[in-house]
Amino acid sequence: MRIPVPEQILPAEELGRVHFVGIGGAGLSAIARIMLARGISVSGSDGAASPTLDALAAAGARVHVGHAAEQVADADTLVVSTAVREDNPEVVAAYARGLRVLPRSAGLAAVMADRRVVAVAGTHGKTTTTSLLTTALVAAGADPSYAVGGELAQLGTNAHDGAGREFVAEADESDGAFLVYSPHLAVVTNVDADHLDVWGSEEAYRAAFEQFLDRIEPGGTLVASADDAGAAALLATARERGIRAVGVGESPAAAWRIHDVSFAGTRSTFALTGPDGADALGPVTLQIPGRHYVVDAALALTAGLLLGHDADALRSGLESFTGTRRRMEAKGEAAGVRVYDSYAHHPQEIVGDLQAARSVAGEGRLLVAFQPHLVSRTRIFGTAMGTALGAADEVVVADVYLAREEADPAVTGALVAGAVPLPADAVAFVPRLDDVAAELVRRARPGDLVLTLGAGDITTVGPMVLAGLAGLAGLSGLSGSGSGDVGSA
């Protein structure tokens, strides 16, 4: 549901009692947490019970499972998720009563009022880069406020109301939310067409990022990847408009150069050289694997330095970072098989995560289970998704996670599976997630790495795989059989 952004966004403290429709989601739960920390009366509803709802209730929110008009009886303001339908009874009741109704973007802007905003945008890597920068600033003693689209593993939350000047926010382009914020410093990880169901064309999508430049405060700064063609073009446009623009990457055009990159298992190492030719920092050793995460960390480091924070403290924060939920997250190991889970749902994200997974897998095989996300995205990028999955040894593709769209019998996971350039016996289209888990258990061997990918509920498959492998290992031990393949047919 698209809710219009009001011309004037009031500070959070002036919104009265705030009710969140879809409070269990990453975006709304973050805003709710910050409002609760400020003593604002918060209520909310979601379609299903979850640990997020439990945590919000423990923090003082009144939460409901399910939506009903009477749940907004004492609300002054509604903040509504884009996933909510127009006939939602709470939204209908709010409009009937003349309540203030805000989209997620306006709710976030309300809690960012009077702070120095650092907005992290881009097609891929927003959550990780926001998380890295947040962790680095915490280590530097900045005590930033932050709102992230995923839970930071070591901090155990996706939001915090800090006492410092900075407010670090993940700035989502999918629904135009990033065009509501006014950052002092904007970070753009990359610009690669996505969400074309919203924007209509690649040209319109890229034009939105050019509009984002106009949201940067006078005297503010853009930090962006000089290695990504879309972000590099944005840097050039920013300079034409008189905006301070700082490129980061391995490209000779980058003001801050990444070099001496290496990978070993789950670790990535790099150094960063500033415009004066001296090493700003190096080496920096991350606890997360993959070249795309090196770029994310370099962007975060550069942003922290430009904000005036201590280099060694920032490095310490980056090196302590243990990841974000659902971003190359280790789920466990059973019967000699390691299981990871990640959020990748776009072809470029799949490429990056499979490169990282190869480093982690070492000599073992890489088995990937992928769940396409959205009919519209699968229709446009399904073939490219399949091509990217060809970097695995074996692939299992589930059916499309529908989210806010209706099913299309012509667009299923079979479209992706059919495009995977591997032998037929190394690829399977398995629509149901329960069956996906069983198929992975059947295929897995000791030493393999299993990676579940997708923005939907594919994240539930990893624990099922671990349980299935553990069960097989137990049966093998009871029967006294040898050490053959755990998942052999």
Judge whether 27 is annotated as a binding position: no
- Which amino acid is located at 41 in the chain? S
Judge whether 452 is annotated as a binding position: no
Sign, Cα dihedral of 226, 229, 233, 234: negative
Catalytic machinery residues: 126-127, 170
- Hey, how many other C-beta atoms are within 10 angstroms of the C-beta on 211? 11
CA-to-CA distance for 296 and 225, rounded, in angstroms?
Answer: 9
Judge whether 82 is annotated as a binding position: no
CB 323 within 8 A of CB 296: no
In sequence order, what are the residues at sequence separation of 6 or more whose Cβ sits closer than 8 angstroms to the Cβ of residue 116?
A: 165, 166, 167, 184, 185
Q: Which of 142, 147, 143 is nearest to 119 (CA)?
A: 147
CA-to-CA distance for 444 and 465, rounded, in angstroms?
Answer: 9
Judge whether 324 is annotated as a binding position: no
Judge whether 126 is annotated as a binding position: yes
Instruction: Report angle CA 84, 86, 90 to the nearest 5 degrees.
Output: 75
Strand-strand pairing, 157-160 and 145-152: antiparallel
Sign, Cα dihedral of 140, 142, 143, 147: negative
Instruction: Report angle CA 400, 403, 405 to the nearest 5 degrees.
Output: 85
Judge whether 195 is annotated as a binding position: no
Judge whether 412 is annotated as a binding position: no
Q: Which of 210, 108, 213, 102 is nearest to 169 (CA)?
A: 108
Strand-strand pairing, 329-334 and 337-342: antiparallel
Instruction: Report angle CA 315, 318, 324 to the nearest 5 degrees.
Output: 175
Q: Which residues are annotated as a binding site for ATP?
A: 122-128
Q: Which residues are annotated as a binding site?
A: 122-128
